[in-house]
Amino acid sequence: MSGAHFTLDARLKADTRPVAALSLCDLLLMNDARYPWLILVPRQAGCVEILDLPDEARTALWQEIQQVAAALRDVSCCDKLNIGALGNSVRQLHVHVIARMEGDAAWPGPVWGHGRAEPYANGDAQSLMHALRQRLGVAA
């Protein structure tokens, strides 16, 4: 798919806010106040599986997953990180990095498909995004 132009999937775009553009991935925050929930989307057209990425991009994806997971853990003080690449509904390759708290809305089950998203209160998403950008050392 080289040469094809990357465009963020419409559903991912509708469900998230942009946090930052990392070297490989767009970093997004899910519009769901129940959990601090980030999504990494490699800006590579036509990729569905991690295995579809070229070698270098797979290495870069792993680095960015770890950077984002460490930042999210620090900022959220979560009890557990959940990291996953599913893509059963939205096929564009994306990786979830979610901060879980014991007793949160879906605990101890997975967040995917559990109930309805709850909107962030005024300013809360911005505060979280600001803290994440500072921790990652990146601009908006």
Residue ranges binding a copy of itself (CB under 8 A): 48-51, 58-59, 62, 66, 69-70, 73, 80-89, 91, 100, 107-110, 112-113
Our CB check for a copy of itself shows the closer of 87 and 117 to be 87
Our CB check for a copy of itself shows the closer of 49 and 118 to be 49
* Least Cβ distance, residue 62 to a copy of itself (angstroms): 5
In the chain, what's the furthest Cα-to-Cα distance?
Answer: 46
* Least Cβ distance, residue 132 to a copy of itself (angstroms): 16
Our CB check for a copy of itself shows the closer of 59 and 134 to be 59
Question: Rg of the Cα trace of the chain?
Answer: 15
Q: Give the length of the chain.
A: 140
Judged by DSSP in three states, 17 sits in: strand
Our CB check for a copy of itself shows the closer of 3 and 108 to be 108
Alpha-carbon span 3 to 106, nearest angstrom = 41
Q: Crossing angle, helix 124-136 and helix 55-76, to 10 degrees?
A: 120
What would the two tokens of residue 30 be?
């899910």
Judged by DSSP in three states, 41 sits in: strand
* Least Cβ distance, residue 123 to a copy of itself (angstroms): 29
Alpha-carbon span 29 to 79, nearest angstrom = 19
* Least Cβ distance, residue 126 to a copy of itself (angstroms): 26
